[in-house]
Amino acid sequence: MLGYHWYGLGHVWNHPWPMERWDVKMSPVVTGELEPFKMGEWYGGIQERLWMSSSGVALFVDFNTPLFASVNHQSDGRLRLVAKNVSPYQEDELSMRYTLLQERDVKAAYLSLVGKAFEKPKSIPNEKIFRYPVWSTWAQYKQDITQERVLEFAGAIRKHGFKDSQLEIDDDWTPAYGDWTFDATKFPDPARMVKVLKDLGFRVTIWMHPFANVNSEAIKEKQYWIQEPSTGKPSIVTWWNGKAALLDVTSPSSKSWLKTKCQYLQQLGIDSFKIDAGEACYLPYKRRMHKPLKSPNAYNKLFVDLCLELDPELRALEVRSGVASQHIPMFFRVNDKDSNWSTINGLKTVIPHVLNQGLLGYPFVLPDMIGGNAYSSVGFSKTTNFPSRELFIRWMQVNALMPAMQFSVVPWRYDDEVIHIAQKVCALHEQYADLIVQLAKEATQTGAPICRPLWWIAPKDETALTISSEFLLGNEVLVAPVLDEGATSRDVYLPEGRWRDANSGQEFSGSAWIREHPADLDQLPYFTKL
């Protein structure tokens, strides 16, 4: 890796940019959780076995190779790829099949992978999600959601004058995980609740996953779940909400069962689904399935295929895991972010994660909750620790010109100025929505990401190859949000060409830095190319 800059593979918890700044030990290249206690063991829930370099080299490895990778481990400056028939793989034969390409530069290297390493999207997700914010109950309420709180949440969104693409009823609306009916205590009249939401103009989505907890009724229907080979009983795995069986996505009856449950919800008026998990890391190593899997990642791929079958027409879905699924027209969400300024899964990782996901061939990126998930510290505690006022504002600005915006922490928990800034940010996103939709449609033709690294228009520019705090929307809008606490200015790098400050109208020549460019708390620095 020495002497060049590398991109691809997946996500890591702190995600330095470019990849040669990572330090990851030899780990299986299968989809998994990004968790602080597993740091360095997984490459995230959205990953691909592909790489590209500033030298113009592009590389991809076959889907079924039992692949392990290390990246600059202990600062050795190397990308190491090894095929091994050890857990989590169960291959009968050992081989590594890969393709190596040489192009003129890193952009050409990326484009050479389109159609070879992955397919272009076949169409785009529902346009409304590109235009207006998603509103989720998760960060605001965590698992303490009720019918009353959902209606209160919806009423407050309308009261404060905000638009929406959809309202998500998130985690813990069921009596047990895997039983896809409303908890009668928390939601005494779900049909009425959905009607009220519809009357307020909301499209309604609801949280789903592939697990059935041990206390559920669903787990008793053992034919739908991955089984223990010796007993035929559901194989029990651990996930963040307890111990559970995992849906057998190779089984037609299992898929039909889940689709029937979703159809019941759709009859209540639920429009689509926010779908969690699906990563291969949850597969039991010893397992019996309707059809055996050649690779653990095949589970994740089949799961995402099934997700699209739950909403093939509206396509208002959201998933958080994916492998070899670039052709699927849905939003792929980045991992849960922590509500801090840091490079440890905080605000400073949003841009690198969004950019790298685009370079894996997933243009329809949902950057997760504005302000983070309000966890108590780095990790997945459900204790609420809301972002500071300043952090929330800067996070809104980071997301303003990304493919989609998602609120959960609400602007009105702060003050009137924050509400005003939030409305201003949403208006800016709506102003550029036509361009975002145009770029989404372009992705179906070319495979190009919507949000692009600066090197997309300057592939030989050393600064553009390494900058992690700016991004392009298409080729002609450069976004340089403030990422440091207390800052009211920042240095901005402009690639070659002439650029206009979209706030002041001042013009600048590119291939140069603008030092201490002003950025008051209510201002997002961004530039348009002349």
What is the model's pLDDT at position 2? 82
Average of pLDDT values for 8-19? 91
Cα–Cα distance for residue pair 370/312, rounded to 1 Å: 27
pLDDT tens sequence across 462-509: 999 999 999 999 999 999 999 999 999 999 999 999 999 999 999 999
Q: Which residue, 478, 474, 419, is CA-closest to 451?
A: 474
230, with CB counted inside 10 A (0-12, 13-18, 19+), is exposed
Ramachandran category for residue 225: left, alpha or beta (phi over 0 → left; psi -120 to 50 → alpha): beta
Confidence of residue 39 (pLDDT cuts 50, 70, 90): very low
Assess whether the previous peptide bond of 525 is cis (omega < 30° from 0).
no
Average of pLDDT values for 91-97? 88
What is the model's pLDDT at position 135? 98
Angle between helices 252-268 and 190-199 (to 10 degrees): 60
What is the model's pLDDT at position 415? 97
Confidence of residue 37 (pLDDT cuts 50, 70, 90): very low
What is the model's pLDDT at position 36? 53
Which residue reads 């400073």 in tokens?
348
Which domains does the chain show, CATH number per domain?
A: 6-113 (no CATH), 129-209+255-444 (3.20.20.80), 453-529 (2.60.40.1180)
Above pLDDT 90, what percent of the chain? 92
**Please, which residues bridge with residue 144 across strands?**
none
Cα–Cα distance for residue pair 485/101, rounded to 1 Å: 42
pLDDT tens sequence across 172-201: 999 999 999 999 999 999 999 999 999 999
Phi first, then psi, for residue 167 (nearest 5°) are -110, 125
What is the model's pLDDT at position 179? 97
pLDDT tens sequence across 119-167: 999 999 999 999 999 999 999 999 999 999 999 999 999 999 999 999 9
pLDDT tens sequence across 430-460: 999 999 999 999 999 999 999 999 999 999 9
- State both tokens at 483: 């990422």
Predicted confidence (pLDDT) at residue 103 exceeds the cutoff of 90: yes
How high does pLDDT run on average in the chain? Answer: 95
Predicted confidence (pLDDT) at residue 206 exceeds the cutoff of 90: yes
- State both tokens at 347: 């605000």
